[in-house]
Amino acid sequence: LFRSQEPTFLILTALAAGPQHGYGIMTDAEQISGGTTRLQTGTLYMALDRLRSAGLVEPDREEVADGRLRRYYRLTDEGATLLAAETERRRASAAVAAQRLSVRLAGGTA
């Protein structure tokens, strides 16, 4: 569903820690990415709608803060399973890259 889609991976990763509202997800995603990915509001809510339709996230609760409605989202079990699989795929790819780089840096061929 989200191979090579960094924003989706970051949103699911942010929600793995527990329910969050939109601004919290955006802030957490930027922090998780080391500041390299900054989600725009429109991108976030389009992704959340898509993830909700796919059954990967769901609304958790709503509250009013400073006169504005805040909707919190949470990761579903299906979303956690997909995130775990994607995390393992990325880990395996990174291990291959690290191994090939170490050969290259040692003067061998990749």
The pair of structure tokens assigned to 74 is: 């949470």
- What is each CA distance from 2 to 51, 56, 63, 87, 102, in whole angstroms? 10, 11, 30, 11, 29
User: Mean of the pLDDT values across residues 32-54?
Assistant: 94
Q: What percent of the chain has pLDDT over 90?
A: 83
Task: State the pTM of this model.
Answer: 0.85
50's enclosing H/E stretch is: helix 41-53
DSSP single-letter state for residue 108: S
pLDDT of residue 25: 97
**Percent of the chain at pLDDT exceeding 70:** 94
